[in-house]
Amino acid sequence: MKVTTLLLSFFIAFTTVNTTTAQFGKLAEKLLKGKSDKKPKSKEVMYDFSDPTGMSGTYYMNKSVVGSFTTIGFSFQEKIDGEIENILTVTFGKTYDKKTYYESGRLSEKYRNKYKFDYFAMRAHSMPDTDVNARGHAIAKIADDVYVFIIEDVVQSVLAKDKAALTDYDVETAQVLYDQKMKAIKKTELDKETASWMENKIFKNNVNKIVFAERNDLLCKRGLMNKKPMVDGKGFKSSIDMNKNVYYMAFFKYPPKDMFPGKEVNIVYEMNGASDSRVDCRAKGSKWGKMIPRLETSSFDDRQHSPRGLRFYSSYRSNWVQDYAFMNLLYSQKSKLMIGKTYDVTVKMYVNVDGENQDLLAEGLIRLEYSSAAHESFTKSEGVWDLFEDFLNE
């Protein structure tokens, strides 16, 4: 991965396009009067758009976003009819019903002024059968004459006036740059809200930690959206019998969805010096993947999440529901379990990229007691171990 000193070259931010689609369409018609020497079926279309800022022109792409065309045209207008507009119109080589595919977006002046970064939230026009209309579609500057084409915070392509620049800025490098700066921008925006949450004693004492309880209602958030946690902490447990329900929930300083958009979440379990994780178990095969669904940051959109369980009894299913990654770790330690003893289990939540754990989101420790009731439940015929072995032997 070619991540160099470029990491300090830009800041990212979001904005809202306040002009209606119709208004953008009218403005764009003015901007698309430039000539192009495009040929039908040509993959490289050269555009002669220009403007005093130097932004306009032909940009090469390292990955096509519409059809098989490897270039697009930027037409930027800082002023239109004497008024500051800061409109970027992007023209694609493909046409539909004699209409050229294009899109328009307005510069976020707030983030140019505050973060010295150019970011355009885009709207597509006359572009059927494409996915560029997706929410979160944007074009952002990462270096001089180098931009990224983004959908839902994922870099789709790098755009550069100089084709040689694509060697330095591949998609992977651009994604790292984008993610790093997006994280910094969102952190700044969220700090004020986090300060309000920190006024809550339960949150302050448990931020970036995982707490445990025997009932999920003791961990359920009360209130709507980003309200402070309406839990009193009285149901939190430091020790639980293995034969009882074991629920857990993390408190995050910042919502993972905002800080790490589009990333996988891995949960790691540690016990007796051994460890296992959801990502590692999923990699074992399809049957593991069916039992251990992939978790993504999109499901963690607040400073606390819905309770999860290491294992708990479901009256609806009349059976135990268990995290198979945790159970795989517990099964590996079954010969060491002694009645009446307690065992420390550490639970850690990470951002995971391509199988590698990165940022630690939260962690917590729970002492699990291997009681005589647990021993009976685990070792009896068709008990916990028998059923888990049936799964392993499938």
Low-confidence residues in the chain, pLDDT < 70: 1-42, 94-99, 125-136, 221-227
**Contact at 8 Å (CB) between 49 and 70?**
no
- Provide the Cα torsion 154, 159, 165, 168; round to 10°: 0
Residue 128, pLDDT score? 57
Question: Which residue is it, tokens 């990699």?
Answer: 283
Q: Which residues contact 319 (CB under 8 A, 6 or more apart)?
A: 313
Phi, psi of 68 (to 5 degrees): -110, 15
Closest CA to 166 of 294, 312, 240, 61: 61
Length of the chain: 394
Residue 81 CB-density burial (10 A; 0-12 exposed, 13-18 middle, 19+ buried): exposed
* CB neighbour list of residue 324: distance below 8 Å, 6 or more residues apart: 281, 288, 291, 292, 391
Question: Which pLDDT does position 92 carry in this prediction?
Answer: 84
Separation between Cα atoms, residue 209 and residue 249, nearest integer Å: 8
> From residue 264, how far is each of 16, 181, 304, 307, 321 by CA, in Å?
27, 19, 17, 18, 22
SS3 312: strand
pLDDT tens, 233-262? 999 999 999 999 999 999 999 999 999 988
Separation of alpha carbons 180 and 289, rounded Å: 30
pLDDT value for 7: 41
The span from the CA of 162 to the CA of 146, in Å, is 8
pLDDT at 103 (0 to 100): 87
Determine the pLDDT at residue 186: 87
Using a CB cutoff of 8 Å and minimum separation of 24, what contacts does 291-296 make?
A: 291/324, 291/391, 292/323, 292/324, 292/325, 294/264, 295/264, 295/265, 295/266, 295/267, 296/262, 296/263, 296/264, 296/265
Q: What is the pLDDT of residue 14?
A: 34
Predicted confidence at residue 94, as pLDDT, reads 66
SS3 178: helix
